[in-house]
Amino acid sequence: MNYPKEIETIRVEIARLTSLIEETRQRAAVIEAGELMAVRDEVNERLHESVLIIRLEKMNEYVAMRKTLRESRTQRAILRAQLERKRGEFKLALLDKQAQLSEEGAATTREQAIKG
């Protein structure tokens, strides 16, 4: 296993998803603001939020963005968990290798002591 490469690949994907989340969140905020301005012209203060939600739900682009945000957040959380697991596996692999080398070194020392 090439742990460093796998860890870096996961980190890059997390960064990509974080960027996508921020970009999508900003684009959604612009749409929300535009729609809010339109709503304010159409209804009184008590109905603004309800009308905004109804209008936004009718907008396929907005609904798709919200879905992208939700899916990206989920994928990022999964990748973060995978990253931590890979880091842990890598640390264990290093410890196993160190233990193996220590055992081999100790065996060599015993053999030399027996011969010497």
**What does each of the 116 residues of the chain score in pLDDT, given as a tens digit?**
899 999 999 999 999 999 999 999 999 999 999 888 877 776 666 677 788 888 888 888 888 999 999 999 999 999 999 999 999 999 999 999 999 988 888 777 777 777 76
Distance of alpha carbon 59 from alpha carbon 81, whole angstroms:
34
Among 51, 20, 24, 46, CA closest to 36:
51
Domain ranges in the chain are 3-89
Best CA proximity match to 70, nearest among 27, 24, 33: 24
Helix 48-58, helix 3-42: angle, nearest 10 = 120
